[in-house]
Amino acid sequence: MPMPNGYYPIYHPLYKIPGVFDLHKRGRFKDRPFVTRNWDYRVIADLEGKAALFVVKLVEEDNMDPDTRIPYRFRIRETLLDLDENLGFKPEDLEACMLDTDIQESMTTAYTEWRNAYVPIEDNQTDIPALEKKIRTAAA
């Protein structure tokens, strides 16, 4: 699965293979591909240090490839959620990703655990310059 242009992965949780990120870049399928779960996420960033949450989900919906005009039954739906300067996001933003509440809760819990370990803290506040440097270095 390709990344959005100009972005690079800085974190990807461990997952059982095959997952939705292992599917081909076209993202359209006549039959449901075998994946261990229908969704996943990555934290991605550009070289300027802007971070986002890249969420993908395999959905069943009739769709047509615009180039070949071939109909498909399954497709990958991608959502890009901007992260604030502390790498935080609003849990309700996950509703745009079409994830049910159980998935939203487990994803938020796992993401928050990673974020708390990744974000540098100084005097009980996020060290923004250190975080930006860390993100730019990871993206490069």
Q: For residues 104 and 109, what is the distance between their CA atoms, to the nearest angstrom?
A: 8
Q: Is the pLDDT of residue 73 over 90?
A: yes
pLDDT tens readout for residues 25-53: 888 999 999 999 899 999 999 988 899 99
pLDDT (0 to 100) of residue 26: 85
pLDDT (0 to 100) of residue 104: 87
pLDDT (0 to 100) of residue 2: 72
pLDDT tens readout for residues 82-136: 999 899 988 778 877 777 888 888 888 999 999 999 999 888 888 888 999 999 8
> C-alpha angle with apex 61: 58 to 63, nearest 5 degrees?
105
For residue 62, count other CB atoms closer than 10 A to its CB: 9
pLDDT (0 to 100) of residue 53: 93
> DSSP readout, 46-70?
-TTS-EEEEEEEEEEEEEE-TTT--
pLDDT (0 to 100) of residue 35: 93
Q: Is the pLDDT of residue 7 over 80?
A: yes
> C-alpha angle with apex 48: 46 to 49, nearest 5 degrees?
70
Ramachandran angles phi, psi of 139, nearest 5° = -70, -35
Say if CB 135 and CB 49 are below 8 A apart: yes
Q: For residues 138 and 4, what is the distance between their CA atoms, to the nearest angstrom?
A: 16
Q: Amino acid identity, residue 60? A: E
pLDDT (0 to 100) of residue 1: 63
